[in-house]
A and B are shown apart, each in its own frame.
Chain A
Amino acid sequence: MAISDLYADTLSALTATRSKMLSPAWQASLDKVTTADRVAAGNALLQLGSAILSLSTASLADIALQMSANATQLASSTKDLAEALADITKVQNILQKLTSALSIIAKIVPLL
């Protein structure tokens, strides 16, 4: 896959995740989980926002090497994330997949 396509797919997957995590359905799912899971979800959402902003403002030329080095993991983690989002009630599964995707993105752009 071309790096520009991988970039576009990654940003698109992250934006779709943001849409889901800002939806009333996601907040309703969080009403049923423990406080610790809710805090984890909030932290993941903050990191997701950083990842979207970082990727949106980064120059692909500057991050192409890191993207290329992590291409396989990145493609597979965003695919897993998209699949997990199909069932918004499975909060822990979504958080796990999101955290995994964000850990790979953190190798490409700086995330806290």
Chain B
Amino acid sequence: MNTQNITSFSRVGIFTCALVLCGCDEQRLSQYSTFATAGQVYVANFHQVTAQAGSAMIAVDSVLMSTAHKDVVSDLKKNPAKYSAQVEQHDELLQKYLGTLQLIDAHATALGAYFDAIAKLTDNKTATNTASAATDLLNAVDSLNTHLAKATILGKPIADYVSKGTPFVVAHFQVKALDAQLQRAAPIVDIALSLQEGAVTAIGEQTKASLTDTLKNRESTDVIEPFLRTNELPANWNTNREAYLRASVTLSNVSSAQSAIKQLHITFKQLVENQTASIDLQTLITDISAMSAYANATQTTLKTAGAK
């Protein structure tokens, strides 16, 4: 876990402990604060998930192109324009996909900034000064919701990956700035969290398909083929094998991001709907911790692959 995540999680832990000690109103404000911090940690980790999704798509296409290159090598000099056009087309299509990922990432960033503002609104000392900034951030989230809903992954707009939930009523809260903010924000944040859920599902599917082929190829070229050669194993064989195995484990944990955003959404609804319900923040923290582990493993995998 990197330093930023450790710091953020220490904050989540401190807030959780604080819940036990506070009165009812303060407890609810504290829960908002915990939720907002968990949301920020989710966003920090989500950047790794989108980075991996982009890298996975590029990696499998690069494996495909380098394999094709071996096959057409005798024809390259005769038809350079044809092959140049092929590379350009692949690059353009990958850029299109990366553009979609960038939009999803920008949406998550705006949501994270809004969660930060919400955390400040729970503090009476900073609430008034934060309200205006929170409104601006909410407008940014609202605008990005519209764009993200239309963005396409695997043929479907992200909006189509969203499972329709039941509408909810926002409870009233005693901290005026928070109450005013939530009355307006709740439906927008609800849509934003639904879209994030949809986006994570979509990029998870895409990443799995891309990584599976890349890893199969990697096992074959980096692990099995060198082992079958009768000369000595290459010096980096152990490292390559470990990188392959670790990447395979990372792939199997891609669903942790889906669990984290789903739980974030559930917790948000619980928080805004009911002032007295007991909120399952522990599950949220557990799910986001699992996502942190996945995001950090991903970061290591990408670094190892890049260093090869």
Write the residues of chain A forming the contact surface with B, with a CB cutoff of 8 angstroms.
4, 7-8, 11, 15, 18-19, 21-24, 27, 30, 35, 38-39, 41-43, 45-46, 48-50, 53-61, 63, 112
Q: Are A39 and B89 in contact (CB under 8 A)?
A: no
Which of A15, A43, A58 is the most central at the interface, judged by chain B CB atoms within 10 Å of its CB?
A: A43
Q: Which of A8, A24, A59 contacts B220 (CB 8 A)?
A: A24
Nearest chain B CB to A41 CB, angstrom units: 5
Q: Are B63 and A22 in contact (CB under 8 A)?
A: yes
Q: Are B93 and A50 in contact (CB under 8 A)?
A: yes
Proximity bits, B56-73, A CB within 8 Å = 1, else 0: 000011011101111110
How many B residues are at the interface, by size bracket? 35 or more
Q: Which of A7, A15, A22, A35 contacts B67 (CB 8 A)?
A: A22
Q: Report the bound CA distance from A63 to B152 in whole Å.
A: 12
Minimum CB distance partner of A7 in chain B: B155
Do most interface residues of chain B lie in helix, strand or loop, or is the interface mixed?
A: helix
Q: Are A60 and B156 in contact (CB under 8 A)?
A: yes
Q: Are B90 and A23 in contact (CB under 8 A)?
A: no
Known contacts A4-B155, A38-B71, A49-B61; decide if A18 and B213 are in contact (CB<8 Å): yes
Q: Are A22 and B213 in contact (CB under 8 A)?
A: yes
Nearest chain B CB to A65 CB, angstrom units: 14
- Residues of A contacting B64 in the complex (Cβ-Cβ under 8 angstroms): 18, 21-22, 45-46, 48-49
A-B contacts, 19 of them at CB < 8 A, read A4-B155, A8-B155, A15-B209, A19-B212, A22-B67, A22-B213, A23-B220, A27-B70, A42-B72, A45-B68, A48-B64, A53-B61, A56-B153, A56-B206, A58-B155, A59-B155, A60-B155, A60-B156, A61-B157
